[in-house]
Amino acid sequence: MSTNSTSDTERTELHKTIWRIANDLRGSVDGWDFKTYVLGMLFYRFISENLTRYINEQQRATGDADFDYVSFHDADAELGREATVNEKGFYILPSQLFANVRKHARNDDNLNETLSRVFAAIEGSANGQDSEDDFKGLFDDLDVNSSKLGPTVAKRNEKLVKLLEAIGDLPLSGAGGNFTENANDLFGDAYEYLMQMYASTAGKSGGEFFTPQEVSELLARIAVVGKKEVNKVYDPACGSGSLLLKFAKVLGRDNVRQGFYGQEVNLTTFNLCRINMFLHDVNFEKFNIAHGDTLTDPAHWDEEPFEAIVSNPPYSIKWDGDANPLLINDPRFAPAGVLAPKSKADLAFTMHILSWLAVNGTAAIVEFPGVLYRSGAEQKIRQYLVDNNYVDAVIQLPPDLFFGTTIATCIIVLKKSKRDNATLFIDASNEFSRVGNKNKMLPQHQQRILDAFTARENVDHFAALVDNSVIAENAYNIAVSSYVAQEDTRVAVDITALNAEIARIVQRQHELRTAIDAIVADLEGGNA
The pLDDT > 90 percentage for the chain reads 62
What domains can be seen in the chain, in order of their start residue? 8-201 (1.20.1260.30), 207-482 (3.40.50.150)
pLDDT of residue 119: 97
pLDDT score of 468 more than 60: yes
- The average pLDDT across 292-315 equals 94
497 confidence band (pLDDT: 50, 70, 90): confident
| Bridge partners for 394 per DSSP | 412, 425
pLDDT of residue 417: 94
What is the rounded distance in angstroms from the CA atom of residue 76 to the CA atom of residue 81?
10
Residues 299, 281 contacting (CB under 8 angstroms): no
pLDDT score of 203 more than 60: no
The alpha helices in 308-462, defined as continuous H runs, are 346-356, 377-387, 443-455
What is the rounded distance in angstroms from the CA atom of residue 92 to the CA atom of residue 100?
11
Which tens digits make up the pLDDT trace of 378-425?
A: 999 999 999 999 999 999 999 988 876 778 899 999 999 999 999 999
pLDDT of residue 401: 86
Residues 314, 265 contacting (CB under 8 angstroms): no
Residues 18, 190 contacting (CB under 8 angstroms): yes
Which tens digits make up the pLDDT trace of 111-159?
A: 999 999 999 999 999 999 999 999 999 998 889 998 888 899 999 999 9
Closest CA to 186 of 16, 11, 38, 37: 11
The pLDDT > 70 percentage for the chain reads 90
Average per-residue pLDDT for the chain: 88
SS3 27: coil
CA dihedral 156, 160, 162, 167 (to 10 degrees): 160
Which tens digits make up the pLDDT trace of 159-181?
A: 999 999 989 988 887 544 555 55
pLDDT of residue 213: 84
201 confidence band (pLDDT: 50, 70, 90): low
Residues in the chain: 528
pLDDT score of 280 more than 90: no
Residues 308, 233 contacting (CB under 8 angstroms): yes
Which tens digits make up the pLDDT trace of 408-417?
A: 899 999 999 9
What is the rounded distance in angstroms from the CA atom of residue 361 to the CA atom of residue 107?
56
* Non-local CB neighbours of 381 within 8 Å, separated by 6+ positions: 336, 338, 340, 347, 350, 351
Largest CA distance in the chain: 118
Mean pLDDT check: name the lowest of 88-92, 504-508, 514-518, 521-525: 521-525
pLDDT score of 33 more than 60: yes
CA distances (Å), origin 69, targets 41, 44, 45, 368: 20, 16, 15, 51
The reported pTM is 0.83
pLDDT score of 100 more than 50: yes
pLDDT score of 433 more than 50: yes
Neighbours of 500 (CB within 10 A): 11
4 confidence band (pLDDT: 50, 70, 90): very low
CA distances (Å), origin 43, targets 28, 187, 206, 491: 23, 8, 20, 56
- The average pLDDT across 345-353 equals 97
Residues 416, 359 contacting (CB under 8 angstroms): yes
Which tens digits make up the pLDDT trace of 322-336?
A: 999 999 999 999 999
What is the rounded distance in angstroms from the CA atom of residue 306 to the CA atom of residue 309?
7
Which DSSP letter does residue 358 get?
E
- The average pLDDT across 247-270 equals 92
Which tens digits make up the pLDDT trace of 228-240?
A: 999 999 999 998 8
Residues 416, 373 contacting (CB under 8 angstroms): no
Neighbours of 14 (CB within 10 A): 18
pLDDT score of 344 more than 60: yes
443 confidence band (pLDDT: 50, 70, 90): very high
Which tens digits make up the pLDDT trace of 36-50?
A: 888 889 899 999 999
